[in-house]
Structures are given as C-alpha cells and as structure tokens.
Chain A
Amino acid sequence: MDKRIKLLEALRSIAVKTPTNEVEVPEKVVGFGTIEYKAQTCSACKKCIVACEPGALDIDETLNMHDYLRVTIPQEGFRSKNREELVTLLQNLKGDYDSGDVQAISVPQGLPGYGSILWSAEQCIACEKCIEACPEDCLTLQKTYKLPEIIGPIEAFPPKPTSKEWEPFIICFVCWECSHAAADLAGLMHLHYPVSIRTIRLPCSGALEPIHIMTALENGADGVLVTGCLLSECHYGGDSPKAGNFMQEDFVKFWSEIFEEIGLGGRLNIDFASAAMGVKFAKIVEDFTEQIRKLGPSPINVKTEVQE
C-alpha cells in the first residue's frame, strides 16, 4: 500500500495543527472509514485477517472483559450460542456492571476460539473485505475517519510574517471538457481576473487524486481550486451519481474538512462552470483569490530550494 503511505506522509507534512475531531466521510467517498469491532461474538477465526490485503488487522491474544459485560444481547440472541451463554453468565456473576475496574485478560496459549481483533486506522482502506469474510458479523464500517489517531500530534510553529509584496498563488485543476473551455472563453472575452492562478488540465475533475492536492500545497501553493463541468453535465457519466464531478464534489468536501482539522481551512474549493460560462469562471477565480487573500499566505514551510 505504497500509495496510501505516501498520501499519509504528504498529509502529515502539510499539517500545521494537531487534529482533534474525527471527520465524517461523505457518502460517495470510498477508501476511508472506521472498522467497528464487536468482541462478544468474535471467535478469533482470523478470517478477517486473512482477507485484509493492506494488513490493517491483527490478532490480539486478549479478551476485553469490559466489552463482554456491557453488551446488550439482542432479543433473537447472538448467532453464536456459546458466546451468548458465556456473556449472560458473566453478566450474571458480575451483577453491578459499573463497579470495579474490569481488566482485559490474556488468553492462554493453545486455547482456540478466544481473542480480539486489533484494527489499525492508518493501514485500513475501508475495502470491506474483512466484513464480507467475518462469519459472525463482528465487523461493521463506520463512515468516519479517525484523523487524530492517524495524523498524531503536530508541532505548532510560529506563523510566517506576511510580506507586503505577497500575492496569492493558486493551483487550479480544470477538467478539459467544460471548465477548460470556460477558461478559454474568459480569455476570448478579454475578461480580467487575478493573475494568481495557474491552471492544470485534467481529463475530468474526477481524475484528480488527493495526492495532487497535497503536492500542490506542499510546494508552496496558497490554495487549490478544482473546477469541473456543471453538475449532472459531466462528460464522463452525465447525471449518474458516479459521474466524475459528483464524486469529486464529495471528495473535496471530505478533504476540506480534513484541511480544516489540520489548520488549512478554506484553502481548497471546488466549483463548476460550463463551456459557455466564461464570466462565471472569472468570478470563481476572483472569489477564491479574495478568500485566500483574506487567509493570508500558506502556513506551510515550503521545502527550500537547493542552494549552491
């Protein structure tokens, strides 16, 4: 999972603030999420571990008694009758669940059928293969991203002084269908918009990968703008919910929230313009430049160029 590691490294290198909140994963965003584990019915069969390609799951030879005691057994019972019986008996013996400190206990070597699954947020790509493999429905995918756990603490550094000559520098990813035509039209119409942007053409806005956004920011961009065809008019999918721009809209929403958490709020935006909307394109650029101007220069320390 070279790609995921590179992405996380890039994300860590641009982070300027320790994230504190978990990020909601929008509906269309795949590949990010949290695996919730229900220990009570797990029989430590390790099928999920075998199924997990990035190696995000591992077995822990312990039993978390705390989880056992607090679970509410559903009316129809667990599928695993032996676990249901065990949990019931333990709850019966414990009486008051909240009294005392309930420790996890280790499973003796050579006793099969008991154990816990460890999940690593960093490696998980939310492919759900483990969920399919689990015979006991112990695993479920939650649409949240455990950002604080993944990024870890970030050293705060002093804000950079703003020089008077500073002008925003914005990378604008344009799809080469409508939004690129809109940019052309703006030129044909001799519309004036700020000099701050550099456009990079992509086949479709949906083709933009998060690593490109990170790379732009890492290399000194003060903001990243993504433009695509009007919603429902994507050349690759039209009004299908899986069309490039629909997908990218959710992704940008997701990454904006992550940027908010790591101290780069407002530096990523997506907007849409058709080939006939030269004026709108100029307006989009003007507004975003204004937004960046208000935020000031990027707080990221740009990798200094190699000097002789």
Chain B
Amino acid sequence: MKKLFLCTCNKTLTRWLDFARIEKELGNTFESVQVHDSLCLKEGLDYLDSEVSNDDAVVIGACTSQIIGVPMERRLKSEQVSFVPIREHVAWVHKDDKNSATNKAIVLLHDGAIHVDHLEPKTAVDLEIEKKVLVVGGGIAGLKVASDLVQLGIPVILLEPPEFNKDSYVGLNQFMAESEILKETIKGLLSTSKDAEKLNGTITSLSGRAGLYSVDVKLEDGKEKDMLVGAIVIATNTEQSAPSLAKTAHYGKYDNTVFISELATLTSNQSGKTILVAQDPSYHESDAEGSYLLREVTQAAEKGNTIIVAHFNIYTKDENLYRKARESGVIFVRGTLEKVDKKKDQLVCRLENTLESQIREFTVDYIVLQPERKPWSGTRNLASTLDLELDQNGFIKTRYSKMKPVQTSKRGIFIAGNAKTPMNLNDALASASNASLEVLKNAVAEGERKGWIPVIDEELCDVCEACVKTCPNDALRRDGDLIKHIPMNCEFCGICVSACPTRAIEFQSHNKDSWMARLEAIAMNHKKLEGDKPFSLVYACSECANASIDQAGFTGKGYPTGNYVIQFPCAGMISPIEILKGLVVGAENITIAHCPPGGCHHQTGDHLSELVVQFTQDMLTSIGQDPSRVKATYMIAALPNKMQEEVAHRG
C-alpha cells in the first residue's frame, strides 16, 4: 500500500500550509493520507510503527531527511521510503504566500509518490574482508595507529623503511616537541604496539580493492613477501635538511649556529643571551612550523634572553601566539640575514630591514635556524606504487581537507601524521587516532553492506570504458570483455551513470526513466495548480548543496515558490539528458547545485557537473536556445543565502 504521512511540526506548519487541501489533492494518489503533529517524537514513531508494514511504500512529508531520516531508518519496517522536506523546502521559505506554498507542497508530494514507486530493495553485497592492517612508517603516527589497532584486537603489520632501526625513533626531532615528552611518548607507544608484526622493507606492488588488498613487499634481506590486508595506513615521516641560509650563518662551522629544536636546551641553563632567529625566505613553512617557532621564541624570551626574529612571513593559524611572543619581549625584524662575521665569541649579523630599507647590524651570542621539512624521500615512489595523488609540496594528498582529512584518493588507504603535512606531536597523535578510527569503521568492519548499486547490463555494454575512466574510486574495472563493479570501493555516487553513453549502467532506484517520469510529473502538476506561472528546477547534490538548501529553510532565507529542488546522489550523476528534459517539460531555468570547487564528497562531481553544464550550454547555443537558462553553481551549508541568490527571480 502506498501511504503518505504528513507532519505539522507541532502544528506550526499550519500557519503556512493548508493541510486540508493537501490531504484532499493527494487522496487519489495515496491509499491513505495521515496528518500527525510530531512524527519525530516517541508517539509519532510509535504511530508509524503500528501503521507501516514491510511491503508498504511510504512518503513522509515532514522536515528534511537529514533530521527525520535518522530515527526513521531504524524504526520504519519498510525500505521503500521517500522523504519530502515540506518544512525546509516549502513552509519556512515561502511564508508570505500560503496558497502557492501549499501548491508547491502538493507538487513535491506527488513527486515523492513517483519516487517511491521506483524504489527498489537495497542490494546486500557479500564481501570478503581481510582484517589485517598494514601500517607504512614506524614513526610516532605509525606507532600510534599500530598501538590503537592492536589494542582493538586488529592484527597489524608495521612496515618500516629498510634502513630504519630502533634508535631512529628518537634520533630526529621531527615532531616539534620537547625531547623528553617525545621520548616518553615513544616509550609508551612501543610497549602498547609490541604485538604488531614488524618488518623492514619496501612495497613493490599493490592490487585488489579496499578490504582486500594484496601487497608485495621486498624485505631488507632481498626476499619477497606478499600479504593480504584490509587497509593500509601511510604514516611516513618528514625529512629535515639545512636551509639555504645555513651557509650564510656558518652552520656547522661555528658552534653558535644551531637549529630551533636545540633552542630549548640552549636556554634551559642560561639567560641574558642575545639570540637571532632567522627565517629562510626561500622556504615556505607550514602552519605547524610557524606556530612552533613562535612558541619556542616566546619560551626563550620568558627565560630572560633577548630574542630577535628576522622573518619575512611567519605562518600560523593562532594569532594569540604572535601576540604572546610580542608581549614576552621578542623583537620582530622584517628582513633577511645577509652576512655573519665572528667577533670574539659573538656573531655580528648584518641584515636588511625591508620595512625601513636600512641595513641593520646585531651582535648576538647565537643564531637559530629553522630546518626545511620535506616529505620522506621515498614518498613519490610509494605514491606511484600505490597509485595515490600528491599535493604541490610532494606530500600525499588528502581526499578532502575538512571532511576527510585522513583519507587518500584511494579507498582503503589512509594517511596519518607527517605523511600529510609537517605536524607537531599532538596533531600527529590526533591524526593517527583519526586514521585508526576510519580504518576500523570503513575498511575492516565486518558485517553486511547494503545499498543501491549501479547495475551493469552486459548486453548493452560496449566496454568503451567511459565509466572506468570517470569512476573516482576505482570501483569499476575492466575484466576481459566485461565491466565489473567492486562494491567495496563504490561510494554510490552515480557518476558512472552519467558517463555511460549507452545506458548500460543503471543506478538502482534512480534509473533514467524514473528521472524522466518525475520531471514530467512535476511539470504537469505545476501546470494543473499554478497555470501558466513559470517554474524552475534545482538539481541539488545530496551533500553540500542539499545542506545549503536546508539551511536556507532554517535561517528563513525565503525565495519564490515555483522553484522545485530535486535531489541527486551527486551532481556528477547529472547528464545533459536530465537537463534538456527539464527544459523540454517547460522549466524556465535549471540550476545544478554541487559542492564547492574541489570539495566534492566523491572527488570529481563538482568538476564533472560544471563540464556537463558547459557542454549543454554549448548545445543550446548551437540550436538557437538561450544557454543562460542552464547554469551550475556551488552551494555549501555555510552559505545559507546561496539558494536565495541563485533563484532570486520570480521562478
């Protein structure tokens, strides 16, 4: 039975929506239409429990699925559910026109009815998972991941570079921390991770998929070893080298020139010294290094030393550190160290103050330099073996710096600590714990995985590999004359569907015919209720764009009725066909809303949708239509007025 449940949100929505009319209009489409005051509360959920059976198709017109979808997923017996956000997408954004808002709700609920008709049961994918995890790099982050996972009962192989030995752990001051704390931390981690299998060697090849990777390792003694692992964590370290300024400052020649990691030891038992800290202008430091520099000079100044910092740009995200440094008496001189001469036990430093355009001379007891930090020298080889992307500094690139900070471009491979960017001890430990959690959650988690998957029709498939090329997650692979889907790598974004020229891939529950039927129905119902008033469509991705449109509702950023939002799993799933269909059914404008540039949750959807829109616009220009009717834009939850701006006209 097809059932519709409407929620008045504790009778608040009745102010803007005419529920009696909605019930009447949808009476023919649904076998039953029920209005409840609070579906999300206990009595509402109990009510749904008693009303909905396994084989019912259910449309819920309430708040956004982001809110109500969560309790519903556990409570509803039926899997055939469609959510229509009549609160965020209708009532809260069309407060000044009750009649039109009600019309829009009716159109969207009709759309929900068609959507639910096309829903298929989710496919359970049976997957073989290897529980073992390979950690590459035995530094702080690597030990932390190994220690976390071992304590959770997951077998770990800790792979270290061939030349690595036990002394290497404390030998280098990579983590911008005091050496005592560092030693203690490493001691602790070494004891908690002792059950991890330790190997010295390098990875030579990788095959398989997330959850079941096959890794070949060449061991130190020249032997080959291949192993099966469920996930890989890369926790390689940085390498530090003397900056180009080291020669000018006579590093290595005079004992008075030291690296910043020695500053704390230097000032621990003496005060009243004059110390020049010089930044190298050719090296762009990271946020962690800038902050570390400020913390160290503040401490040294507080101990009664005169600290001069010759800088050009100290990069930090914490303004307070700079303020504290100034308050502690650190002198900041904008300029570069040009010449150093020895005079008795002291050093005479000449530098040009670029703000004053004057040459300054300082006589100091010590010169302190900042080492240059580069990714581990084997990073490039490792990345090409594992097929990972690198960022412009040569570190391994994360998938999405805010939402997915420990994921790499490849599913099932994670990064922790300095492999991503130079980090201090705390950040490295936090990043390692984060990586351990992601491994636990995604890669080696047992149990059933269920979802709507792309289904490949072997008859129609030409093996043109368009899908293989576009899939951002390597979830489609060519196997002889067939294309095979690898569910463990799949994020169910649907990008492959838009790429397929022949319609050999159809996404379960979201097939092309269902989109066509929904677009036609929206146009038809709109015309029935609103007559000749124009309407527009917004194709929103279910991640950022949809959140932004929900936010428009929460913050009351109203926009005209007649703008219908249709949710796609990812903007990359939209092909020119859906756009042109929208125009053919009579939409005035079509807006494709995707995640911000570079911020697509599936890596390439934002870029692909821009390409598709550009291509569609070209097609429209060529056939004499106005290309400005179609546009692509990004929407993001942090910008709730984006929707208002994009559809500001009377649509």
**Residues of A in contact with B (beta carbons under 8 Å apart):** 43-47, 63, 65, 69, 79-83, 85-86, 89-90, 92-94, 99-100, 102-108, 110-114, 135-136
12 additional contacts (CB under 8 A) given A43-B464, A100-B624: A45-B464, A46-B464, A65-B622, A79-B460, A85-B512, A89-B580, A90-B580, A92-B584, A105-B619, A108-B615, A114-B501, A135-B464
Check A45 against B466 for contact (C-beta < 8 Å).
yes
Complexed CA–CA distance, A81 and B505 (Å): 11
Is residue B583 within 8 Å, beta carbon to beta carbon, of the partner chain? yes
Residues of A within 8 A of B622 (CB): 65, 102-105
| Size of the chain B interface, CB-CB below 8 angstroms | 36
Closest to A97 in B: B623
Residues of A within 8 A of B465 (CB): 45
Contact flag A108-B502 (CB < 8 Å), given A89-B580, A93-B580, A135-B462: no
Check A65 against B623 for contact (C-beta < 8 Å).
yes
Check B619 against A90 for contact (C-beta < 8 Å).
yes
When the two chains form the complex, which single residue of A47, A90, A110 contacts B607, counting CB atoms closer than 8 Å?
A110
Contact flag A106-B466 (CB < 8 Å), given A94-B623, A94-B624: no
CB distance from B594 to the nearest CB of A (A): 15
Complexed CA–CA distance, A136 and B460 (Å): 10
Residues of A within 8 A of B463 (CB): 45, 135
Residue-wise interface mask of B (580-624) relative to A, using a CB-CB cutoff of 8 A (1 in contact, 0 not): 110110000000000000000000000110011011001111111
Complexed CA–CA distance, A44 and B500 (Å): 11
Check A111 against B611 for contact (C-beta < 8 Å).
yes
Contact flag A80-B503 (CB < 8 Å), given A102-B623, A108-B614, A111-B608: yes
When the two chains form the complex, which single residue of A65, A93, A99, A104 contacts B584, counting CB atoms closer than 8 Å?
A93
Check A113 against B611 for contact (C-beta < 8 Å).
no
When the two chains form the complex, which single residue of B464, B584, B607 contacts A89, counting CB atoms closer than 8 Å?
B584
Complexed CA–CA distance, A69 and B620 (Å): 12
Check A108 against B576 for contact (C-beta < 8 Å).
no
Check B501 against A47 for contact (C-beta < 8 Å).
no
When the two chains form the complex, which single residue of B460, B500, B503, B623 contacts A90, counting CB atoms closer than 8 Å?
B623
Complexed CA–CA distance, A63 and B576 (Å): 13
CB distance from B498 to the nearest CB of A (A): 9
Complexed CA–CA distance, A82 and B457 (Å): 14
Complexed CA–CA distance, A79 and B459 (Å): 10
Check B466 against A113 for contact (C-beta < 8 Å).
yes
Complexed CA–CA distance, A86 and B623 (Å): 13
Residues of B within 8 A of A135 (CB): 462-464
Residues of A within 8 A of B470 (CB): 112
CB distance from B376 to the nearest CB of A (A): 32
Check A93 against B611 for contact (C-beta < 8 Å).
no
Is residue B342 within 8 Å, beta carbon to beta carbon, of the partner chain? no
Complexed CA–CA distance, A103 and B463 (Å): 30
Is residue B575 within 8 Å, beta carbon to beta carbon, of the partner chain? yes
Residues of B within 8 A of A65 (CB): 619, 622-623
Residues of A within 8 A of B611 (CB): 108, 110-111
Residues of B within 8 A of A103 (CB): 621-622
Is residue B577 within 8 Å, beta carbon to beta carbon, of the partner chain? yes
Max chain A CB contacts within 10 Å: which of B469, B501, B620? B501
Complexed CA–CA distance, A111 and B609 (Å): 10
Residues of B within 8 A of A46 (CB): 464
Residues of B within 8 A of A111 (CB): 608, 611-612, 615
Is residue B66 within 8 Å, beta carbon to beta carbon, of the partner chain? no
Closest to B516 in A: A85
CB distance from B519 to the nearest CB of A (A): 11
CB distance from B465 to the nearest CB of A (A): 7
Interface of B is mostly: helix
Check A114 against B615 for contact (C-beta < 8 Å).
yes
Check A43 against B512 for contact (C-beta < 8 Å).
no
CB distance from A268 to the nearest CB of B (A): 45
Residues of B within 8 A of A43 (CB): 462, 464, 466, 501-502
Complexed CA–CA distance, A43 and B516 (Å): 22
Complexed CA–CA distance, A79 and B463 (Å): 14
Closest to B467 in A: A112
Check A83 against B615 for contact (C-beta < 8 Å).
no
Is residue B625 within 8 Å, beta carbon to beta carbon, of the partner chain? yes
Check B618 against A113 for contact (C-beta < 8 Å).
no
Residues of A within 8 A of B620 (CB): 93
Check B618 against A136 for contact (C-beta < 8 Å).
no
Check A105 against B584 for contact (C-beta < 8 Å).
no
CB distance from B618 to the nearest CB of A (A): 4
Is residue B499 within 8 Å, beta carbon to beta carbon, of the partner chain? yes
Closest to A92 in B: B584
Query: Can you report 24 residue pairs joining A to B where beta carbons are below 8 Å apart?
Result: A43-B464, A45-B464, A45-B466, A47-B462, A63-B619, A65-B622, A65-B623, A79-B460, A81-B502, A85-B516, A86-B577, A89-B583, A89-B584, A90-B619, A93-B583, A94-B623, A99-B624, A103-B622, A104-B622, A107-B615, A110-B607, A113-B500, A135-B462, A136-B462
Residues of A within 8 A of B466 (CB): 43, 45, 112-113
Complexed CA–CA distance, A43 and B499 (Å): 10
Complexed CA–CA distance, A65 and B620 (Å): 10
Residues of B within 8 A of A102 (CB): 622-624
Max chain A CB contacts within 10 Å: which of B463, B502, B576, B624? B502
CB distance from A25 to the nearest CB of B (A): 30
Residue-wise interface mask of B (622-647) relative to A, using a CB-CB cutoff of 8 A (1 in contact, 0 not): 11110000000000000000000000
CB distance from A99 to the nearest CB of B (A): 7
Residues of A within 8 A of B577 (CB): 82, 85-86, 89
CB distance from B585 to the nearest CB of A (A): 10
Residues of A within 8 A of B581 (CB): 85, 89
CB distance from A109 to the nearest CB of B (A): 8
**8 residue pairs, one from A and one from B, having the closest CB atoms:** A45-B464, A43-B501, A135-B462, A112-B466, A89-B580, A113-B501, A105-B618, A81-B503
When the two chains form the complex, which single residue of B575, B608, B623 contacts A69, counting CB atoms closer than 8 Å?
B623
Complexed CA–CA distance, A69 and B581 (Å): 16
Check A82 against B608 for contact (C-beta < 8 Å).
no
Closest to A63 in B: B619
Complexed CA–CA distance, A99 and B466 (Å): 34
Complexed CA–CA distance, A136 and B464 (Å): 11
Complexed CA–CA distance, A103 and B516 (Å): 28
CB distance from B502 to the nearest CB of A (A): 4
Residues of B within 8 A of A108 (CB): 611, 614-615
Residues of B within 8 A of A105 (CB): 615, 618-619, 621-622
Closest to A64 in B: B622
Residues of A within 8 A of B464 (CB): 43-47, 112-113, 135
Complexed CA–CA distance, A100 and B462 (Å): 35
Complexed CA–CA distance, A146 and B460 (Å): 34
Complexed CA–CA distance, A114 and B623 (Å): 17
Check A136 against B615 for contact (C-beta < 8 Å).
no
Residues of A within 8 A of B624 (CB): 94, 99-100, 102
Closest to B464 in A: A45
CB distance from A108 to the nearest CB of B (A): 4
CB distance from B120 to the nearest CB of A (A): 19
CB distance from A114 to the nearest CB of B (A): 7
Closest to B613 in A: A108
CB distance from B469 to the nearest CB of A (A): 5
Residues of A within 8 A of B618 (CB): 105-106
CB distance from A64 to the nearest CB of B (A): 10
When the two chains form the complex, which single residue of B503, B607, B619, B623 contacts A82, counting CB atoms closer than 8 Å?
B503
CB distance from A233 to the nearest CB of B (A): 48
CB distance from A215 to the nearest CB of B (A): 45
Complexed CA–CA distance, A114 and B624 (Å): 21
Check A79 against B502 for contact (C-beta < 8 Å).
yes
